[in-house]
A and B are shown apart, each in its own frame.
Chain A
Amino acid sequence: MRFALLLSGLLLLASPAWALDGEQILRQVDRNLEPESYESYRKLIDIQPDGSQKSYVLWTIKKGRDKILALFLEPASDKGRVTLRLGDNMWLYVPDVGKPIRITSLQSVTGSIFNNADILRIDYTAEYSVVGVQEQGDRYVLALKAKTEDVAYDKLTMTVDRKTLLPVTIECYAASGLLLKTLHFSNVKDFGGGIKRPAQLETDSPLYKGYKSVMLWSGLKKASYPDEAFTLNYLPRVQELRK
């Protein structure tokens, strides 16, 4: 009995320490990936089983922990489209339609393996809690659990480089335990302004056998845009924000 009580006490003491370490690592991963408020250019490349490719170029701005929008610059068929995310809410503005419609995080506005949650990613700490940390050689392995049901992936397994505190791979799981996709980060690059992070992300999915999607970063820097930019009424004019 005394042993059981002692064990329970130790576990109670140990759990917050684990959670604290994991949360600290995740917070650092968030900040190492991007400043809290930034702008960047991204290229999304979808590679089909026959090798043919389709690519998208997006200009992205983020403000605070959970406001982000992406303007499509290429291809011509998608130019001028804007996706906006405020916390759990997401909208897509299509110039021809002339008004934003609500979209979901699991859909893909590009039709690729990257879904809207990947394209409009906010801080991991805003969406996930750390439920486990393991040390494996020069890596941490974080087990993350979605804070709410509205998050695109129920669980993540994030492998983090211990030295740089940058993610190496992230496995994304559905609530059923099904592996939805794996993200592979590579090509760590110095963007200037103290930002050094992977410039390339590749993803594959057992649901899309033979397909591969790649995301490239360029021009990532700290930036601050007005709150009004992150509103539905501003979406038709987001293009004018670019310098």
Chain B
Amino acid sequence: MKPRRTRGSWWLLVLVFLALGAQADEYSFDISKYEKKPFELNGYAELKGEDFALNPDGALYKLNYYGQPQRESLTRATETLELAGKLRHDIATFDFRTHSDFQQDQLAYDRTNKFYEAALSLRPRSELTLEAGKRALSWGKGYAFNPIGFVQRPKDPNDPQLAREGYVVADGDFIRNPGGALQTVALTPVLLPVTSDMNSDFGASGHVNPAFKLYALYRDTDLDFAWQGKGSRPARFGFDFARNLKTNFEIHGEWARILDSPKQVTDAQGNVTTEISNATSYLLGLRYLSEANTTYIAELYHNGTGYSDAEADQFYQLVDSAFAQPQPNPLLQKALALGQGPYGRPFAGEDYLYFRAQQQDAFGIVYFQPALFALVNLDDRSFQVTPELQYTGFNNFELRLRLYLLHGGGSTDFGEKPNDRKFEFYVRYYF
């Protein structure tokens, strides 16, 4: 007698077939949808919330929030949209990256719409590329700082991996593979014109600034020599290197010399002088991956155009004096100008230590990455410590949470910042 198939066993069979079907489907791979297209568009949208615990005693708080009602905290929301596209035809490619954001807090709102990049590239031969347009070049081997980043906007060491706005340039790439110990040689010449309407924040207008970078991969070491001629900015040159000492241990460094570099220096009475001298900046860094899958990045950075502890102290005294008097007053005008200029730029000190530790797949959770990074001003011992949690396990989503904790006394780099804590959270969706 044949065994009678029950309704339950039929359902089981259906489930098995469905499961097998799902299995076959999840492992299917159709490459036709990945064919190269003449036009591509992708990008990301991001929602970010920030909560600042302000530092009303800080010099930069007083200057940045001058004329505003006194606050202890500030909450800011930012929506960002970045679009990146490519249009291809034969040997030509036009690519662009836009950046739009809308930012709002209790005091103000702000909109930004700009092209970070928009350039036309021609590749007549595999070893030659010529391009013109707005391009964000990225020179130097440093993770958080780049002393030889001569033709680029400075990085934000808090977010070194963020896309940055480029400059309008004409540049090229000539690549040779000689073979042997000298595996690769590549020359990148650049022309960066500055007029009142173009690249005006690079420096003085009326110059077509020439620059170049010569790259070599020699005996497993990356080497770059970089040069920028005198024009909108003083002439400068430098080099960098990077090498793996072991498979899990990399070292890198940069060195740059700026000739006849002007530096505005103030005393506590607001007497500003411009010193002209040669300035040397350098960076030495390492990246180490431990057996526990923790990556450590450490960098020592000397900023040759930065302010010493004593020079910064004079500026902070000036700000204190300006705010001790009835406002407005002439000292305050000077302090405001200097605060919006050289003294107010991020990381305006001379010597910094950057340290970052990040754990991949922490607690056995794939795509979960906690990290901690610190920035220390080595001259005045003030610092910022930032714990971070990041999760990228949801397809095309990135979630990140950070808490910035600043520590420093009066007249110190991080002690005089506008805030002494910041909580930040964002969710980013890539498409």
Interface residues in chain A, defined as those with a beta carbon under 8 Å from any beta carbon in chain B:
41, 43, 45-46, 48, 52-54, 57, 59, 73-77, 79-80, 86-89, 94-99, 101-102, 104-108, 111-113, 149-152, 200, 208-209, 211, 214, 216-219, 226-229, 231-234, 237, 239-240, 242-243
Contact = CB atoms under 8 A, between A and B. Distances in A.
20 contacts: A45-B27, A48-B366, A54-B395, A73-B34, A77-B392, A94-B161, A96-B161, A98-B163, A105-B247, A107-B289, A108-B360, A111-B361, A150-B244, A208-B366, A217-B29, A232-B215, A233-B173, A233-B184, A237-B129, A242-B36
Contacts, number: 152
Nearest to B178: A227
B247 A88 contact: yes
B220 interface: yes
Interface stretch (B119-127, B228-236, B375-383): B119-127
B177 A216 contact: no
B248 interface: yes
Contacts of A150: 244, 246-247
Nearest to B252: A102
Interface of B: 26-27, 29-31, 34, 36, 42, 44, 84, 86, 88, 93, 121, 123, 126-127, 129, 136-140, 143, 160-164, 173, 175-177, 183-184, 186, 188, 215, 217, 220, 222, 242, 244, 246-248, 250, 252, 287, 289, 293, 295, 360-361, 364, 366-367, 369, 392-393, 395-398, 430-431
Contacts of B27: 45, 200, 214, 216
Contacts of A59: 34
Given A108-B360, A226-B127, A239-B86, A98 B392 contact: no
A150 B244 CA distance: 9
B31 A219 contact: yes
Contact of B186 (A112, A209, A231): A231
Contact of B126 (A108, A217, A226): A226
Contact of A54 (B188, B360, B367): B367
Given A76-B430, A150-B247, A152-B247, A240 B184 contact: no
A41 B34 contact: yes
